[in-house]
Amino acid sequence: MAGAVTQSGVVVQNIERADKDIIAALGACGVATVHEAQGRKGLLASYMRPIYSGARIAGSAVTISAPPGDNWMVHVAIEQVQAGDMLVLAPTSPCEDGYFGDLLATSMQARGGIGLVIDAGVRDVRDLTEMGFPVWSKAVFAQGTVKETLGSVNVPVVCANQLVNPGDIIVADDDGVCVVRREEAEAVLETARAREAAEEDKRKRLAAGELGLDIYNMRGRLTDKGLKYV
Amino acid sequence: MAGAVTQSGVVVQNIERADKDIIAALGACGVATVHEAQGRKGLLASYMRPIYSGARIAGSAVTISAPPGDNWMVHVAIEQVQAGDMLVLAPTSPCEDGYFGDLLATSMQARGGIGLVIDAGVRDVRDLTEMGFPVWSKAVFAQGTVKETLGSVNVPVVCANQLVNPGDIIVADDDGVCVVRREEAEAVLETARAREAAEEDKRKRLAAGELGLDIYNMRGRLTDKGLKYV
Amino acid sequence: MAGAVTQSGVVVQNIERADKDIIAALGACGVATVHEAQGRKGLLASYMRPIYSGARIAGSAVTISAPPGDNWMVHVAIEQVQAGDMLVLAPTSPCEDGYFGDLLATSMQARGGIGLVIDAGVRDVRDLTEMGFPVWSKAVFAQGTVKETLGSVNVPVVCANQLVNPGDIIVADDDGVCVVRREEAEAVLETARAREAAEEDKRKRLAAGELGLDIYNMRGRLTDKGLKYV
Amino acid sequence: MAGAVTQSGVVVQNIERADKDIIAALGACGVATVHEAQGRKGLLASYMRPIYSGARIAGSAVTISAPPGDNWMVHVAIEQVQAGDMLVLAPTSPCEDGYFGDLLATSMQARGGIGLVIDAGVRDVRDLTEMGFPVWSKAVFAQGTVKETLGSVNVPVVCANQLVNPGDIIVADDDGVCVVRREEAEAVLETARAREAAEEDKRKRLAAGELGLDIYNMRGRLTDKGLKYV
Amino acid sequence: MAGAVTQSGVVVQNIERADKDIIAALGACGVATVHEAQGRKGLLASYMRPIYSGARIAGSAVTISAPPGDNWMVHVAIEQVQAGDMLVLAPTSPCEDGYFGDLLATSMQARGGIGLVIDAGVRDVRDLTEMGFPVWSKAVFAQGTVKETLGSVNVPVVCANQLVNPGDIIVADDDGVCVVRREEAEAVLETARAREAAEEDKRKRLAAGELGLDIYNMRGRLTDKGLKYV
Amino acid sequence: MAGAVTQSGVVVQNIERADKDIIAALGACGVATVHEAQGRKGLLASYMRPIYSGARIAGSAVTISAPPGDNWMVHVAIEQVQAGDMLVLAPTSPCEDGYFGDLLATSMQARGGIGLVIDAGVRDVRDLTEMGFPVWSKAVFAQGTVKETLGSVNVPVVCANQLVNPGDIIVADDDGVCVVRREEAEAVLETARAREAAEEDKRKRLAAGELGLDIYNMRGRLTDKGLKYV
């Protein structure tokens, strides 16, 4: 669940986006690494699951605050989409309806949009899978929606328990979804790469049979805390 | 959850079924289209998920009202199954037990049964997948059941929040499960086909970059409602 | 959820394990059969799902009781792992955090560990899938953990509603997870094999079109209970 | 969750109601007794909870099928309410929004309406409690609704997993909510009264220290099933 | 669930608060009215329930971002509490542990703190009720916590799906919890009072038997949408 | 959920119980204190809620492992109840049915039984409240049960995620339910009393305005961890 943080009935047309190379590099790092690199923040709730396995992408957030059971604003939002963007939809109260299907995905792809994160339902998942249009959602549900009530586009929203600003970077893969502040993207990427490098060395040592207890020097501190071997 | 709408301990032997060609055609349309075509009704709850991806079928419902943790009536129901039928099981109170596994699926296939919709659990899902016997269920759970208490077969049931009458058409795919009244099947199919034709045109226009805002003439009404671009 | 049944801050180093051939044979039988063979007990809750389909394994439990959001004890536990062991982690209060990822899986595989059952979250699932390291978990969630508070290793734990003792046999496949007491393993295997043999005969008869109603002689008892055909 | 069983945009004005004395008498019996008396059917899901303790009522159902987040049809329905009626609202897809508050309750009471059963949210619960207007709901949630889309009034609905026809009797108390078919009301009442009489005798014997094992003659059958005292 | 929107390990000491009279007046209006008055935004999730009925308060938010199962920051936060403040605690990943009990409530009351909103668990609820210290929480759970890992105090947090900034006004009653931006408080109050005045007139008309259909002039628009009376 | 840890169809008649004075004293301490006193273990899941507020009791566990939807074993168990005992019922798979109502409570009270802890449903809650018979349950649900299948009495069970042995002490109040091992009861009581004494002093200091930060000497350690005041 979520809802716009600000007022309703507004479309913000010019949003700032991060550098495309940084976005792509964050996507390559993946959710777990990026999440750690930015101090363990920004993860959307664990109920946000991909409709198919194997996608790993990152894009700029075009945000949607939508009433329950009303997908009108999705059409409005797609006009704001640029190449490399992802839609992030937060209903104003909890809803599982299928706001999005293959026609809207066709429209997204025509404009260069690359994915959807929705704290509600999605449908036509077989078609979306064939189209290679990844979606992370709370539910798969064919329930249709109406087009009667305004919401907003490109305002800050709370989606699956995280604040997402328009233009923030969304990183998504089989582990879920993570949001990175636009202004922190470069610093997070740097930390993520350092983390990856450090992990590579540890992976080799662990694969060779060394224990984390020794690699990370944990034994002394465990003893200090009172751990007893019996 | 669900439960028989009428009395317990009854097996209705002769139920009417829809025309096989109509059923097949509804199956080809899929859940989302059929659901829209019949006025956005008939969808089972979103927690009803397929045990494997890719199945898209339709069949006539042979309904089962069963006590929690008791699968005796499944055996009774299978005798009533004809080629093209699907079992629809609703427990009389919420239950996740595994009422159904590979032996019962073998029996179903021997009689021409093509699938199961169960507001409870299923087991042997690896075998069922290899057999190509699709199941939409609330849970995968190996918990065994007993055979002690009567339920009913081919009475109206409420399954995952929808009323299902024996002989109604069940349409099921990766999007979930939808029920179509037997007497409405032909009209729903006609509408579904018209919808598919209309969608094909829209898909082409959307793929060419036209916006839904323009194709559906939404701009004026959005302005009337007060949408502001900033 | 779960928690250690006994005290905290303890690592039991020498645990007894069942015979490797018995363990392997139980794994080959699979969860549903083993669960039935031991009198329908030992199934972990249905929310414990595999991160990928198709794995069917059995191993000796190395148990972990861990505080919420703290994976320190995983490192401690891996030192206790022998070839063929599985980790079984129960947090002391409900938690979805990602206690385990690809580095720990690398360490497990280096020591011969073959899988993880965790009543919490797991991350790096794409990597784990590629590594062929199966995990059954309550959630997929990248949320990081700390290393600050002691738990225990190889004490009895309640994991997803079942008591698991260190050295018990864990059987896991697409149906979920089942625990077998070490001291009952041989007897359970014998019953499971007898059950499989009996099922084979029944499968043939059902495939040939015979009804369960007849194979299991149910008709008389159903009539006695008052079942009415109309 | 639920949804109309039939078409949308319809208000049925003349519905049949059961005899007022029978309804009152069913209310006096309470949910558990009525549920047993009609063969253990008709109970709404356990998540339907009263907003305050102690109410025990029965009334004729005026049903509402409403879109998610849209309470327009509640206004339409209240015009159809007669003295002794209860509203039964089922959203067409799962929703927790607060469709109903103190103003609508004021209107209900002005027309003789006595309560609400809603598979969604309610608000102003402190006021409703002071007014003595009982509500059984899925949620307490102040989230506001719109008035944009039609639903239907007095059509069959599935509410919290039970089919409710307009004019059916709703019995509700601290145990939850039960629906009784209008045409079965008299027979159910007769059985319920017989059950109450029989229970009274049993209550006395149990209070005097006799065991259910003896009152219901269970010992022999338990032995036959193999119960062992150790 | 929630988590700090910014970095960890920080205590912001000087936060701005709204005018005490405005806060008190918002509290008197209650959650439903305030929520409507600010354009239907700001409601925390419906699972946030009061530990006892009848409290209706408003206060300035002192926010806490805390690790799962670690209540150290509550002690840190209480030092920042002034008369009329409420604590708002959001764990960095989902947690039900009992972060707060009667000792901490004693400390809060000693400093003039008036309540707690916690997207996790609370304990000692009988004592808290006797003390008249209201809490809105996700769970009542006695599970103890540790004091090992830093969080932050008075940073923006997402609590039960809403963004809460330090110094925002929290309004809470039996309907749940609503957050009002500090800078919007005066305007919201004005609208809320106008709404209350308007409701008073409508309440009288509804109590006299007039229908909402007429008071709000709905009949024409319903006909235009196609509503049919049969 | 839960299930017997051992075999089915068994009634253990002679179980050991703790000293009545110790049990009573543990009950007076309450759940939160006892839970802390025994090292933060033994708490049943937070979904176990009392049917009415204010009860605070402790008793010896008479355990029941029962099939889903079958309350036969409750009758068997009551014969084993002695003055001061509590029933603890764990279904063998998840179930919300109403296993227990006012007649069984009458029988319990006649034998000196003082309460019920049930990982399933209860009904007749208004009557139970009037009788002063407290119940902690997963659900209030009137759904009736059958008497067809054996379970066991006085075997170890896992109830709401905790292992409960017959004769263990159950402590229950508004905070939930906690189990204490019979053999640890005296030691736990001693620690609980020491804890209560220590809390009394702290309560006075906190009430006088001292901060936990100072009473517990936290400031240095917080600084060491890097907490920053800004």
At A1 the pLDDT is 31
F94 to B95: CB separation less than 8 angstroms, yes or no: yes
- Neighbouring chains of B at 3+ CB pairs under 8 Å are A, C, D, F
* Chain B environment of F67 (Cβ under 8 Å): 69, 146
pLDDT of residue F1 exceeding 80:
no
- DSSP assignment of C72-129, as one string? HHHHHHHTT--TTEEEEEEESS----B---HHHHHHHHHTT--EEEEEEEE--HHHHH
Q: Kindly report the pTM of this predicted structure.
A: 0.96
Nearest to F148 among B93, B143, B148 (CB): B148
pLDDT (average), residues A131-136:
98
Integer Cα distance of B204 and B213 in angstroms:
15
Q: How confident is the model at residue E7 (pLDDT cuts 50, 70, 90)?
A: low
At F8 the pLDDT is 84
Name which of F8, F70, F147 to mutate to probe chain B: the one with the most chain B Cβ atoms within 10 A of its Cβ.
F70
Distances (CA, A) of D154 to A76, D7, D17: 36, 11, 12
At E8 the pLDDT is 84
Q: Which of residues 65-94 of A touch D (CB under 8 A)?
A: 67-70, 92-94
Q: CA-CA-CA-CA torsion for B218, B187, D90, E200, nearest 10 degrees?
A: 50
pLDDT digits 0-9 by tens, B184-200: 999 999 999 999 999 99
Q: 């595999």: which residue's tokens?
A: C50
At E3 the pLDDT is 40
Q: Which of residues 10-39 of C touch F (CB under 8 A)?
A: 39
Nearest to C144 among A36, A174, A202 (CB): A36
pLDDT (average), residues A215-220:
97
Helical pair E185-207 and E20-29, crossing angle rounded to 10 deg: 30
* Chain D environment of B148 (Cβ under 8 Å): none
* Chain A environment of B174 (Cβ under 8 Å): 125-126, 129, 140
pLDDT of residue B4 exceeding 50:
no
A1 to E161: CB separation less than 8 angstroms, yes or no: yes
Report yes or no: C40 and C178 within 8 Å, Cβ to Cβ: no
pLDDT of residue A115 exceeding 80:
yes
Q: CA-CA-CA-CA torsion for E134, E138, E143, E146, nearest 10 degrees?
A: -90
- The dihedrals phi and psi of B38, each to the nearest 5 degrees, come to -100, 25
Report yes or no: F67 and F149 within 8 Å, Cβ to Cβ: yes
Three-state DSSP class for residue B98: strand
Integer Cα distance of D91 and D139 in angstroms:
13
Which alpha helices (H) appear in D1-156, and where do they start and end? Answer: 20-29, 31-37, 72-78, 102-110, 125-131
**Exposed e or buried b per residue across D35-62, where buried means at least 16 C-beta atoms within 10 angstroms of its C-beta:** bbbbbbbbbbbbbbbbbbbebbbbbbbb
- Contacts of A111 by beta carbon, 8 Å cutoff, 6+ apart: A78, A81, A82, A83, B209
C97 to E93: CB separation less than 8 angstroms, yes or no: yes
Helical pair C185-207 and B102-110, crossing angle rounded to 10 deg: 10
At F7 the pLDDT is 60
CA distance F210 to chain D (A): 36
CA distance D102 to chain E (A): 9
B68 to F141: CB separation less than 8 angstroms, yes or no: no
Q: Which two tokens stand for residue C214?
A: 């007849």
Search chain B and give the residue with CA nearest F141. Answer: B93
* Chain F environment of E123 (Cβ under 8 Å): 31-32, 175
pLDDT of residue A60 exceeding 80:
yes
At E2 the pLDDT is 35
pLDDT digits 0-9 by tens, B13-54: 999 999 999 999 999 999 999 999 999 999 999 999 999 999
pLDDT of residue A2 exceeding 50:
no
Look up residue A199 and give its amino acid. E
The backbone region for D15, taken as left when phi is positive above 0, alpha when psi lies in -120 to 50, beta otherwise, is beta
* Chain D environment of E201 (Cβ under 8 Å): none
User: Rounded mean pLDDT of chain C?
Assistant: 96
Report yes or no: F92 and C40 within 8 Å, Cβ to Cβ: yes
* Chain E environment of A187 (Cβ under 8 Å): none
Q: 């017959």: which residue's tokens?
A: F166
pLDDT of residue F69 exceeding 50:
yes
pLDDT digits 0-9 by tens, B149-172: 999 999 999 999 999 999 999 999
Q: Look up the ipTM and state it.
A: 0.94
Report yes or no: E55 and E81 within 8 Å, Cβ to Cβ: no
Report yes or no on chains B and A touching (3+ CB pairs under 8 A). yes
Strands (E), A9-114: 10-11, 49-50, 57-66, 85-91
Q: Which of residues 153-212 of A touch D (CB under 8 A)?
A: none
Q: Which of F52, F7, F4, F59 is nearest to F28 (CA)?
A: F59
Report yes or no: E107 and E87 within 8 Å, Cβ to Cβ: no
Q: Which of B48, B17, B35, B56 is nearest to B154 (CA)?
A: B17
Integer Cα distance of D132 and C207 in angstroms:
62
Nearest to E211 among D107, D140, D149 (CB): D107
A126 to B173: CB separation less than 8 angstroms, yes or no: yes
Of A1-15, C68-82, E29-43, E50-64, the range with the lowest mean pLDDT is A1-15
C140 to A46: CB separation less than 8 angstroms, yes or no: yes
Helical pair B20-29 and B185-207, crossing angle rounded to 10 deg: 30
At D7 the pLDDT is 59
C178 to B106: CB separation less than 8 angstroms, yes or no: no
Q: Based on the number of CB atoms within 10 Å of its own CB, is A7 exposed (0-12), middle (13-18) or buried (19 or more)?
A: middle
CB pairs under 8 A between B and C: 104
* Chain D environment of A148 (Cβ under 8 Å): 146, 148-149
At D148 the pLDDT is 96
Q: Which residues of chain D have pLDDT under 50?
A: 1-5
Search chain E and give the residue with CA nearest F55. Answer: E126
* Chain A environment of C52 (Cβ under 8 Å): 53
Integer Cα distance of B193 and D191 in angstroms:
51
